[in-house]
């Protein structure tokens, strides 16, 4: 039997990263999941990432603490209000306050370090350039530039001539297409969380931040009900 | 009076980063210093960075904890022995075990995040491609690739068309040239520490790791005595 190649997958516990991890596993990679506790307003994302890692049978899951609150600058890490009830048209104009400065660059840098230690040539990231809420570090040109930099950055790249690939299997999919692909692969979306501002006590999504609205639109377009609504109503986290 | 432009400087408390910070200050930047506690074997680097920041009058100094020990893979972050007594010829062949996977990429990513929050277009990094002990992430082509990636990564770059510059004023200097430049600008090298394996109790440098040997060679070429030897003998940290 051929040795399974290692891959690092960035796992936030959201719909996109969970689908991405499932795709990577289906492609035959042995997954090493990396989650960040980066001064989010809540622990709900980390709990979801743990549930998803367990469901996918990922034995190696690292949760790293990085305190981005020391820099401030985002609604997700400081006291700025998360915007609610925006139209899709609003979302398509400009970069929202929920943008976290250089977040994907920081996350990918740690993934790069871990990949080198593991001897992995593959990193999976669930970014999405269509329904993407305007983040600069979710665009294909950004990912290509990161990959080019990464291949100059490491001993693996320079001395061993190993080429690193940043896989972004969702980058050109709509939210509905992502959900359809995930359901084909058996993803249990009730384990995931996407909300920027969930109820801290129950984990219930707010239903009106950009992330909730895009997720709801995805399920609606497929004629489906988001299981998270049902899940949250059970009071589980 | 013109407003002083902000710059983020990566400050390890070593000879190179201290000289770099001093050059940045001399160029008229208002400095914001960033130091990492990344699972080094000792706290001596962080203490040196605090001394240097104080001496340079840097009011804004952030020390971030990032636990690279969770990944392992380097003599500086795990239990591998730091190599001692190597010749300059040995050092010029291959990448040593003191290489920390993706370290400069991680450090620059945080600097990028902070620069965006501060509205700074300038980051200073004390890398050095000549007497550089073989690290891939100290080379000019790596720095250029990081800068290209960074300018696609952020809201500042995409929405505000601000161009970020990664300054590496030492990159083409020998250690002796770096020290000469620093002394011209009044750097007090007795505040700095360069050793990969200092005595934990006294902070005294080991004198035989690659970093100690390159530093000693620099001072020797200028016909000078490294003040750290005197400093350490006082038992100060």
pLDDT digits (tens, 9 = 90+) for B169-203: 999 999 999 999 999 999 999 999 888 888 888 88
State pLDDT tens for residues B203-221.
Answer: 888 888 888 888 999 999 9
List Cβ<8 Å contacts ≥24 apart for A199-206: A199/A232, A200/A41, A200/A42, A200/A44, A202/A232, A202/A235, A202/A237, A203/A44, A203/A47, A203/A232, A203/A236, A203/A237, A204/A232, A204/A233, A205/A229, A205/A232, A206/A82, A206/A84
Mean predicted confidence (pLDDT) in A200-229: 88
Question: What's residue A82's pLDDT?
Answer: 75
Number of domains in chain B: 1
Instruction: Identify whether A1 is part of a domain.
Output: no
Q: Which of B34, B73, B143, B149 to mutate to test the interface with A (most CBs of A within 10 A)?
A: B149
B235 and chain A in contact, CB less than 8 A:
no
> What's the whole-number average pLDDT of chain A?
86
* B31, two tokens: 């400095």
State pLDDT tens for residues B52-108.
Answer: 999 999 989 999 988 877 886 665 566 667 778 888 777 776 676 677 788 999 999
Instruction: Identify whether B1 is part of a domain.
Output: no
Distance CA B148, CA B140 (A): 12
> What's the whole-number average pLDDT of chain B?
86
The C-alpha of B6 sits at a distance from chain A's nearest C-alpha, in angstroms, of 14
A6 and chain B in contact, CB less than 8 A:
no
Global pTM value: 0.90
Contact yes or no for A127/A143 (Cβ under 8 A)? yes
* Chain B residue with minimum CA distance to A116: B101
State pLDDT tens for residues A168-178.
Answer: 999 999 999 99
Distance CA B202, CA A184 (A): 62
Instruction: Identify whether B101 is part of a domain.
Output: yes
Domain that holds residue B58: 6-233
Question: What's residue A52's pLDDT?
Answer: 97
Q: What is the CATH number of the domain that holds B21?
A: 3.40.50.620
Looking at beta carbons, which residues of chain A come within 8 Å of B116? 73, 101-102
A94 and chain B in contact, CB less than 8 A:
yes
Place A40 in a pLDDT band, splitting at 50, 70 and 90. low
CB distance B154–A106 less than 8 Å? no
B129 and chain A in contact, CB less than 8 A:
no
Instruction: Identify whether A130 is part of a domain.
Output: yes
Instruction: Identify whether B114 is part of a domain.
Output: yes
């Amino acid at each position: 039997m051929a040795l399974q190649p290692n891959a690092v997958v960035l796992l936030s516990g959201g719909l996109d990263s969970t689908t991405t991890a499932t795709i990577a596993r289906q492609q035959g990679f042995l997954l090493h999941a990396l989650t960040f506790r980066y001064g989010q307003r809540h622990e709900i994302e980390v709990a979801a990432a743990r549930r998803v890692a367990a469901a996918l049978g990922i034995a190696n899951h690292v949760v790293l603490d990085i305190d981005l609150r020391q820099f401030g600058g985002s609604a997700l890490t400081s006291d700025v209000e998360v915007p609610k009830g925006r139209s899709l048209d609003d979302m398509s104009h400009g970069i929202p306050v929920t943008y976290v400065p250089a977040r994907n660059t920081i996350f990918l840098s740690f993934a790069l370090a871990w990949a080198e230690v593991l001897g992995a040539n593959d990193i999976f990231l669930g970014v999405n350039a269509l329904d993407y809420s305007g983040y600069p570090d979710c665009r294909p040109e950004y990912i290509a530039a990161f990959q080019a930099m990464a291949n100059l950055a490491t001993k693996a790249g320079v001395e061993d001539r190993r080429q690193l690939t940043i896989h972004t299997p969702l980058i050109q999919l709509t939210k509905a297409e992502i959900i359809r692909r995930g359901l084909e692969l058996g993803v249990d979306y009730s384990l995931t969380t996407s909300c920027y501002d969930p109820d801290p006590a129950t984990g219930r999504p707010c239903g009106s931040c950009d992330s909730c609205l895009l997720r709801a639109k995805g399920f609606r377009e497929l004629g489906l009900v988001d299981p998270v609504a049902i899940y949250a109503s059970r009071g589980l986290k």
